[in-house]
Structure 1
Amino acid sequence: MVSVSTIDADPQYLDRAGRRLAYATYSDPTGRPVVFCHGTPGSRLLGRLLDAPAARRGVRLVSPDRPGIGASDDAPVGIDDWPADVAALLEHLDVESAGVLGFSGGAPFALSCHRLDAVESVTLVSGTGPPGVGGAGRAQRAMGTLARYAPWLLSPFVRLQRWVLRRRDPSAALDLLADEPPETDALSTDEIARLVETDILAATAGGPDGVVRELGLLAEPWPFDLDSVSVPVTVFQGQRDTNVTPATGEALVRRLPEATLERVDSDHLGTLCVAAPRALRGPTLV
């Protein structure tokens, strides 16, 4: 059972050239490391959703907050800056090799890590694609357009959304990511709703700037070509996902040099819940 106090555990920190990078670790502390790239908006706290399947797979899940998100200090960085943070985090944890798992808006950040020698494989779950590859839901497209061309208009919306979510039932936060009640063998729907609410509120605890910047980055051409990704990639795509269309997973696999598509009969967050045990497999089993 998950309580809010357990979800909102104190982060650990890594110093990155004068700024703090916050992270949390879950599951087996001696297991095979996997770096979890949260969605947008999202934070290190969503890693709790993968705690039980990671433990069963013997995985040490490392879940960092990206700059300006959650407890990490803000910085004017882009997608192509993220691998350096991941490399520093892996060195800090004395990790020589790791997998990377990107959920939703974390997909480009996960894929950008392919150039790190330590990264063996990348897994995408409900992962967004670059502009022109697949598609996003209507709300996601609208926010991406605002973030790219009029971020000063999106910031008040993010603040308003936070104000509303703090005053409503956790199911309101869950509705942003799921069309159906999700459930796992470790967490009930109500527990997942509380986790998602805490995760989204944590993402904007320091203000909207980090989330707004990321939404803009997701709407711009990515700073690398998909055909340059040099590690095996597994793409889990929900067939009833209204946040990231099912065509996205198929389009990503066609563009990536070494990629496998696994279709999941679920929605956006439900795909993460259903696919977690398979998504956390070792690279030799992908």
Structure 2
Amino acid sequence: MPSAPPVPATDWLPADSETESLSLPDGRRLAYTTYGAADGDPVLFCHGTPGSHVIARLLAAPARERSVSLIAPDRPGIGNSEDAPATLDDWPDDAAHLLSHLGVDAAGAVGFSGGGPFALACHRLPEIRRIALLGGSGPPAIGATGRVQQFVGALSRHAPWALGRLFRLQRWFAVRRDPSYAVGFVAEETPETDALTADEVARVVRADMLTAMARGPSAIIREQRLLSQPWPFALEDVSVPVTVFQGRADANVAPSTGRTLVRRLPEASLELVDSDHLGTLTAAGEDALAAARRRTRV
């Protein structure tokens, strides 16, 4: 497989968000970065869709405080990760190679938004001991995504060319407008954290959007299509404890999604958060890291 050139660094990418990479058995390059404590308990972070490793930057400070090594890869076709016709069921194999590359034999997983299904898919890996979801998407049978997500899912299946044009237009505007433009897709207002101001959070969110589409929209369209179709595993088969953090005011993933996930997962608990979609990540991120890292060491 020919090697695609890496995406060049830009002034909108946070300096501590540059990636390393490993070569997968099929020759692809998988890009990743780590945040938090270098020698801490490992937690795999699954970014949203559209999204990239950059959004994990919002959890860097709590990861350090919790002694967590937050491993944030870009899925195929995102950022510096080379593309492949990957399915939801393929992701655990890539994740397993990354954990092996880093010498990790026990870890937790955190999935944000559209990364929730990818985190849940990793339940079959013996390395993954616990999972936490932050505003995580549910399978289409739940039918509780927002109207925008339903529209995007339908376009991904029936008119991917139109969705590609829409994503390219969004990226064009994101490059040229204030960072708050990108925040508008995931939050009613820009949250602050203990370590980052609202302006800094907005810059991370914009960088996340731009990195997600740095290679074009094809990977995002593929993921949107995958998440709008039946998943290749049943929620009832998820074999590890799951903590679901669900925003009460989430307009991207309806609160009923969290409740339904908890009812159908064999061992799960629900934590309601008084916030919207992005606010669930910033407000409950530290608790999600704590939930994911419990009893990961052997």
Tell me the TM-score normalized by structure 1: 0.96
Of 129-138 and 21-30, deviating more is 129-138
Aligned match of 1:177: 186
Question: Counterpart of 2:244 in 1: which secondary structure?
Answer: strand
Structure 2: distance between partners of 1:178 and 1:7: 24
Q: CA offset at residue 273 of structure 1? A: 0.5
Q: Pick the aligned partner of 1:85 from 94, 107, 117.
A: 94
1:6 aligns with 2:26: no
Runs of at least 4 residues of structure 1 off by over 6 A? none
Of 251-260 and 125-134, deviating more is 125-134
Question: Counterpart of 2:90 in 1: which secondary structure?
Answer: helix
Amino acid of the structure 2 residue aligned with 1:91: S
Structure 2, unpaired ranges of 5+ = 1-10
Question: Counterpart of 2:240 in 1: which secondary structure?
Answer: coil
Structure 2: distance between partners of 1:269 and 1:200: 13
Structure 2: distance between partners of 1:112 and 1:176: 25
Amino acid of the structure 2 residue aligned with 1:10: E
Q: Pick the aligned partner of 2:82 from 50, 55, 73.
A: 73
> Are the equivalent residues in 2 in contact too, given 1:134–1:251 (CA < 8 A)?
no
CA-to-partner distance for each residue in 1:233-273, whole Å, 9 max, x for gaps?
00000000000000000000001000000000000000110
CA-to-partner distance for each residue in 1:134-180, whole Å, 9 max, x for gaps?
51111111001100222122111111111111111000001111112
Q: CA offset at residue 10 of structure 1? A: 2.5
> Are the equivalent residues in 2 in contact too, given 1:134–1:252 (CA < 8 A)?
no
Amino acid of the structure 1 residue aligned with 2:212: A
Question: Counterpart of 1:263 in 2: which secondary structure?
Answer: strand
Aligned match of 2:33: 24
Structure 1: distance between partners of 2:198 and 2:149: 24
Structure 2: distance between partners of 1:7 and 1:37: 20
Aligned match of 2:47: 38
User: Compared with structure 1, are the counterparts of its residues 194 and 46 closer, same or farther at alpha carbon in structure 2 (3 Å cutoff)?
Assistant: same
Question: Counterpart of 2:126 in 1: which secondary structure?
Answer: coil
Question: Counterpart of 2:14 in 1: which secondary structure?
Answer: helix
Q: Pick the aligned partner of 2:244 from 231, 235, 240.
A: 235
Structure 2: distance between partners of 1:4 and 1:145: 31
Aligned match of 1:136: 145
Q: CA offset at residue 283 of structure 1? A: 2.4
Q: Pick the aligned partner of 1:124 from 133, 142, 153.
A: 133
Q: Pick the aligned partner of 1:280 from 283, 286, 289.
A: 289
User: Compared with structure 1, are the counterparts of its residues 7 and 246 closer, same or farther at alpha carbon in structure 2 (3 Å cutoff)?
Assistant: farther
Structure 2: distance between partners of 1:87 and 1:97: 11
Aligned match of 2:71: 62
Question: Counterpart of 2:141 in 1: which secondary structure?
Answer: coil
Amino acid of the structure 2 residue aligned with 1:139: V
Identity among equivalent pairs (%): 57
**Alignment RMSD:** 1.3
Structure 1: distance between partners of 2:120 and 2:274: 24
Amino acid of the structure 2 residue aligned with 1:283: R
Structure 1, unpaired ranges of 5+ = none
Q: What does 1:209-248 correspond to in 2, within 5 Å?
A: 209-248=218-257
Q: CA offset at residue 9 of structure 1? A: 3.5
Q: CA offset at residue 284 of structure 1? A: 4.4
Question: Counterpart of 1:80 in 2: which secondary structure?
Answer: coil
Aligned match of 2:7: none
Structure 2: distance between partners of 1:134 and 1:264: 21
> Are the equivalent residues in 1 in contact too, given 2:42–2:108 (CA < 8 A)?
yes
